[in-house]
Chains A and B, each alone.
Chain A
Amino acid sequence: MLFPTTEFAVFFAVVFAVSWALNSHNTTKKCFLVAASYFFYAFWKLSYVLVLFLSSTANYALALLLGRMADGPLRRIVFWFGVAGNLAVLGVFKYYDFFVAQTINALSTVGIRANLSFLELGIPVAISFLTFHALSYIIDVYNRRIRPTTSLVDILFYISFFPHLVAGPIVRARDFLAQTIHNSRPSDIRLGESVLLIVGGLFKKVIVANYISTDFVDGVFANPIAYSSLDLLLGMYAYAIQIYCDFSAYTDIAIGVACLLGYRFPQNFNQPYRALSVTDFWRRWHITLSSWLRDYLYIPLGGNRRGRARTYVNLMLTMLLGGLWHGASWHFVLWGGLHGIALAVERLLGITADGPRRIPAVLAWLITFHFVCITWVFFRADSLESALMYLGNLLGGDVFWSTTMTWWVALMLLCGAVTQFWPGHWFEAAAERYDRASLPVKVAVPFVVIFLVAVAAPGGIPPFIYFQF
């Protein structure tokens, strides 16, 4: 079930009413929200629900065990067993076939014909996000940052809660479980913020990201040799806007929907294309993933506490694994690796999230933005070869000054770009103004925006890009 669909609107209408009606019976309400979340997930494939349930239940039991055990080698073994179990689920569904293919290729280069078979299981939607949520819980329990909850319903609820289930934001167990202990407070609903996030997210996904994708980016990336260098350059910029509008739309709607149900999610994007360095970019892009990687991978690897050389190794490892997390393919690994190199170089040069001090901010922005855009080519392309072909044609194409981009796509790019450069306080100001408005205006704003989105919507809504991860 996708957010921008009629069935989600009907689903949410029911969930909103029942959830608040049950608010004074917190456990019953959580049971209902778990059932609703499983129903939401079952829309993709019923059998995936079993993966979700078994993973949640196993992590619940493991956390209880870790909570009761005294520190020592046995507890460490149980913990690593849990980590390995979660990674095994991810590995079997997402990476097994990739590694089999790589093994067969590697052995064939030395003349050995391996007879390995592929599993071809298909990847359950949201398996990566599910694993991140589960790992965050057992790691925090192991490090005694949180006590394991004795309520299975709370864990089922934390891992499956439908707004974040499919594509984040990645919510930490300690932040979410604290909200599940008591009844939700209607006074915590931030109506203006929620409405603006939801309608803004619908506009970014249904109109901006979809038209950029179908009218320009898909064609340019499918056959780069048929396009001019200018088209390839514009295609690169266009994909940067498309992926931002697509992914940030999902998390904006997720945050808004959760808030209407009385739950708070963390911010996931903060105008990432304003970044003055790659370090700054990763503090603005998919914030919940980058902070997860920092807290659960980079710092446990030693972070910057074990000398300069080890810091660079840790940065590279974190970003390579971050790249691999996005998909079982070398172009994702290279995308992560390029960002790892950039972060290491910036650290070497003393460049912080504030950007370099010795060069003008505009130049720092230009360098950072183009680095991010070039690396998006590796992210978007179907394979490493097609990414290199794209960049090769961009730099050495026969024709430069001609473009197939329509005025409509250019307008969509402009809309996407505007979201990066308006002052940050405008959103808060607009939300406050909405909250002070009369009831008819409060209803008119979401109705008119969604109506106009529907008028200009393409025929079918493709899934969000991050659903595949």
Chain B
Amino acid sequence: MATEQNLNDLPGSGLRLRVTAIVVYATLALLALTIPQSMVNRLNDFGPNAARDAALTLTQAFAGASHRIGADWAYHAGRRLFLSVTGKQDD
């Protein structure tokens, strides 16, 4: 009879967790790569401290790299298109 522990060890069970982890982290990584400015903007909202400053330096470097390889192009182009179609203005 299957116990709690060996139910977790079933191959299908492990595969499902792996697939879920890939979906979660790949989605977040793609979002970070294509919209890196969101992390920089959010960190700028926090008051300065050592941890925030270190994270800000890191995310700014990441955002710069993303920009250099053109990974953030689609976001900016999409944003411009959205604003022009709806007549809205960026905050």
Residues of A near any B CB (own CB < 8 A): 5-7, 9, 12-13, 16-17, 20, 23-24, 182-183, 185-187, 189, 191, 195, 260, 408, 439, 442-443, 446-447, 450-452, 454-456, 458-460
Contact = CB atoms under 8 A, between A and B. Distances in A.
Interface in B15-31: 16-17, 19-28, 30-31
Interface string B47-61: 000000000000000
B42 A187 contact: no
B35 interface: yes
B16 A187 contact: yes
B45 to A, nearest CB: 9
B65 interface: no
Given A183-B4, A260-B24, A460-B91, A454 B19 contact: no
B75 A455 contact: yes
Contacts, number: 90
A182 B74 CA distance: 45
Looking at chain B, what size class is its interface with the partner chain?
A: 35 or more
Given A185-B8, A191-B19, A455-B75, A7 B82 contact: no
Q: Which of A12, A186, A408, A450 has the most chain B CB atoms closer than 10 A to its own CB? A: A186
A409 to B, nearest CB: 10
Interface of chain B, main secondary structure: helix
12 contacts: A6-B42, A13-B28, A185-B8, A260-B24, A408-B86, A439-B19, A443-B26, A446-B27, A447-B31, A450-B31, A456-B82, A458-B91
Contacts of B10: 187
Interface of B: 4-5, 7-8, 10, 12-14, 16-17, 19-28, 30-31, 34-35, 38-39, 42, 74-75, 78-79, 82, 86, 88, 90-91
B23 A186 contact: no
Contact of B23 (A191, A451, A452): A191
A339 B89 CA distance: 41
Nearest to B80: A455
A13 B24 CA distance: 8
Determine which residue in A17, A187, A189, A191 has the highest number of CB atoms from chain B within 10 A of its CB, and name it. A187
A185 B7 contact: yes
B66 to A, nearest CB: 14
A149 B90 CA distance: 52
